Structure 1
Amino acid sequence: METVFIKGLGLIGSSLARAIKQDHPQIQIIASDVNEETLQYAKENNIADQVVTDMTGVEQADYIILASPVSQIIKDIAALANLKLKSGVIITDVGSTKQTIMQAAKVLTQQNLTFIGGHPMAGSHKSGVRAGRADLIENAYYFLLPASESADTSKLTWLLAGTNAKWLELTPSQHDKIVAQISHVPHIIAAELVNQTQQAFKDEPVGMRVAAGGFKSVTRIAASDPTMWSAILLNNKELILKQLTSYITGLENIGALIEKEDRSALFDFFKRAKVSRESLNTPVRAPFYDLFLNIPDKSGEIAKVTGMLAKHQLSIINIQILEVREDINGILQLVFNTEEARDQAARILEKDYEIVTR
């Protein structure tokens, strides 16, 4: 019987535990957390088989998942280096920065231990063990960073197969640059916008009460865990500071355009953003396989397509409409994670729809 040791039962740690239990019910999970209420909830809700407040049981684990804030993960790595771990153990983490963690993990690889850095690109404005879900990471990118060329990721992806994540290998520097721009800086901006708005409305409390729509969408992530985000920013500070400086410069340039009433330049600013934002609907090309269909502009057509595939238990990674006009056919793009799934879907759908070659 294999054993998984999870250190940290917050949103991500508890979600991974749930996904592992759902997909591999025979695996024993030992969960560690400093919060007694968290551990009690995990035990009562079958998230973990055994709960501890320290590293008790880690030496018998086949897999170790470090799911605490980044600064704590680095401390835990140092602690593991001084323990007699099981032969063949696979150690991973879920930290939101990677260069500092991978540097710390050298003390493990020097002992011929397998360390695979990890970061699931999923989350919620909610935090804690109660917010965890087995499907939290479904169809989200999960970055993997093997600490050595010999590190085999297949066992780890098998363990976490129940997450239905999309695996993507990166280098530590690639990872930290990407997340600084698309995750870390946006969290700072969202938090500052909320704080600034609170200050602006300190004498008009109705302002915060009526905030809705765009404001809530833009600032949703400001409700994330302060402990976690404080640690993240200090562990990726050089890239974050660089990108914050660039962002501030951009805001100053927009301010200058407003001051000059340069309508054309302001239009171009919003147009570029619109085009770039719409491109986010396009998935990363390499690991996925597309199928394009001509579908009539009729109610229920998309439901019909997905229903036909569901009958054959085919899972769609992404779906979008590329072009729809009234009274003419549109193009439906279906994305699959294997070539075999795409080809099977084509055989199923070609009886009712025209397959488009692009």
Structure 2
Amino acid sequence: MMKNVLLIGVGLIGGSIALSIKKENDVMIFGYDVYTESSETAKKLGVIDEVVRNVEEKAATADLIIIATPVEETLKVMDRLASISPAIEALVMDVGSTKNSIMSKAEDLAAKGLRFIGGHPMAGSHKTGVESAKAHLLENAFYFLTPNSITSEKDVDEAKDWLKGTRAKFLVSEPDEHDFLTGIVSHFPHLVASSLVRITKNHAVDKPLIQQLAAGGFRDITRIASSSPKMWSDIVSQNKSHLLDLLHEWKKEMDEVIRFVENGDQTELFHYFDSAKSFRDSLPVRSKGAIHPFSDLYVDILDRIGALSHITALLAQSKINIINLSILEVREGLNAVLRLSFQDDNDRDQAQYILQNEDYLTHITL
């Protein structure tokens, strides 16, 4: 029997989840977005089956509702759903990056009959919008599920069953634990990266050479600072408590680093760098973590006419999409001058195979 799914927020993540559900289930997917053109585009691409204008009307007949909007908007949508009478029977899930505020509201709305399970698929893309949605976007990514205090095991199993087409790795946790974990491995690094860029920007006013030199490794280690300012200001506001604790902890860490540098003790400095290197090297290489990894391939090419177009033509012939291309002015130890960025590791590895067969020297950083 065909079931109805209502997708509220038709973008990259919502669209990818919709495609994964369609792959495994006999469903009709209805899409609503404040930007009507996003819904129209999703229908043309086959991501959704029908564009919705009235959320309340369609929610009343839905079997599953996915809220794929920013956290602040999700809270408003939850209130709209809870106001429907009689109470909707659908299982409701969200995809927000923070969970405390959402699950606090879910506790309140449970008394009104709203079955809600918080969710956070920890994957994304360097592109945005429903045009970039893929059924396999979340494959092997961690997918948090945060039930509320009255959620049954049956509801959790139902959520996993709906989402089985994502091929994600499900983690069930308390909302606060989720917010701490994502805070330390995702939200906090974004703050640090932005602060490094700000310090560099301040010095670049008087020393213009900084901008040229920062085109190398510095630009790489701060790439996450190029993420959406609106999204990250919302995330930081929502996870304020954990991030303040982490920032105070970081201040203490920096005081310790200052002491190491002031003392000039080679042994202390060695242990500081060695400890960081050992832990970093122990992290999984091929896993999808909290921060979406960059699928980059470095290629050594000669500075001559047609060199760049030859590479792009080779990849285009194999239908491999390059999502970004940059020529490195500062190499810093890399035997390469060209960096190609791809949607995922599969495209990158295929590109490397093709280019190596054409005798190009290539390199992947881990």
Give the TM-score category using the shorter length. Answer: 0.7 to 0.9
Q: Deviations over 1:242-279 (max 9, x none)?
A: 10111122123212311221221121111111222123
Say if 2:251 is the partner of 1:245: no
Q: Tell me if 1:271 matches 2:271.
A: no
How far the C-alpha of 1:86 sits from its partner, in A, is 6.7
Change (3 A) 1:250 1:31: same
Q: What are the residue-to-residue correspondences of 1:1-80 with 2, within 5 Å?
A: 1-24=2-25, 26-52=26-52, 55-56=55-56, 57-80=58-81
Q: Unaligned 5+ residue runs, structure 2?
A: 288-366
Q: Which runs of structure 2 are paired with 1:254-293 in the superposition (5 Å)?
A: 254-281=257-284
Distance of 2:52 and 2:222 partners within structure 1: 36
1:168 corresponds to which residue? 171
Letter in 2 for 1:121: M
CA 1:243–1:22: 2 relative to 1, 3 Å = same
C-alpha distance in 2, partners of 1:191/1:51? 38
For the 8 Å contact 2:70–2:231, the answer to whether it is kept is yes
Aligned partner of residue 55 in structure 2, secondary structure:
coil
When residues 41 and 197 of structure 1 are mapped into structure 2, their CA distance, relative to the original with a 3 A threshold, is: farther
Work out whether residues 5 and 61 of structure 1, in 8 Å CA contact, stay in contact via their aligned partners in 2. yes
1:140-198, Cα deviation, whole Å (9 max, x unpaired): 11111112242522222121111110011111121111111111111111222233333
The answer (yes or no) to whether the contact 1:4–1:27 under 8 Å persists in 2 is yes
Q: Give the alignment partner of residue 191 of structure 1, picking from 172, 189, 194.
A: 194
1:318 alignment partner in structure 2: none
How far does residue 282 in structure 1 lie from its aligned partner after superposition?
Answer: 8.7
1:1-358 → structure 2 map (5 Å cutoff): 1-24=2-25, 26-52=26-52, 55-56=55-56, 57-84=58-85, 88-147=89-148, 148-151=150-153, 152-202=155-205, 207-208=210-211, 211-281=214-284
Change (3 A) 1:54 1:232: farther
Give percent identity, aligned residues only: 40
Equivalents in 1 of 2:127, 2:213: separation in Å?
22
Preserved contact between residue 60 and residue 85 of structure 1 (Cα < 8 Å): no
Per-residue Cα deviation, 1:309-329 (whole angstroms, up to 9, x for no partner): xxxxxxxxxxxxxxxxxxxxx
Q: Could you tell me how far 1:228 is from its partner in structure 2?
A: 2.0
RMSD: 2.4
Q: Match of 1:186, SS? A: helix
Q: Deviations over 1:78-97 (max 9, x none)?
A: 11110136754111111111
Structure 1 pair 23–207 and aligned structure 2 pair: CA distance change class (3 A): farther
- Check conservation: 2:117, 2:151, Cα contact below 8 A: no
Query: Residues 85, 205 of structure 1: CA spacing in aligned structure 2 closer, same or farther, 3 A cutoff?
Result: farther
User: For residue 332 of structure 1, what is the aligned residue in structure 2?
Assistant: none
Structure 1: distance between partners of 2:72 and 2:45: 29
**Contact kept in structure 2, 1:120 and 1:141, CA below 8 Å:** yes
Look up the match of 1:347: none
**Structure 1: how far apart are the matches of 2:251 and 2:123?**
27
8 Å CA contact 2:98–2:239 kept in 1: the answer is: yes
| Offset of residue 213 of structure 1 | 4.9
- C-alpha separation between the residues in 1 aligned to 2:43 and 2:209? 43
- Partners of 2:119 and 2:44 lie apart in 1 by 28
The 1:155–1:254 alpha-carbon spacing in structure 2 relative to 1, beyond 3 Å, is: same
Task: Give 3-state SS (helix, strand or coil) of 2:77's partner.
Answer: helix
Give a deviation string over 1:211-243, Cα, whole Å, max 9, x none.
445334322222222222222111110111110
Counterpart position of 1:349 = none
- In the superposition, the TM-score normalised over structure 1's length comes to 0.72
Q: In the aligned structure 1, how far is the partner of 2:130 from the partner of 2:206?
A: 37
CA distance in 1, matches of 2:86, 2:199: 49
Show structure 1 runs of 5+ residues with no match: 285-358
Tell me the distance in 2 between the aligned counterparts of 1:30 and 1:58. 10
Moved >6 Å (runs of 4+)? none
Whole-angstrom CA distance in 2 between matches of 1:174 and 1:37: 37
Please tell me the residue identity of whatever aligns with 1:158. D
Aligned length: 283
Change (3 A) 1:282 1:168: farther
Change (3 A) 1:138 1:236: same
1-structure distance, mates of 2:124, 2:24: 20
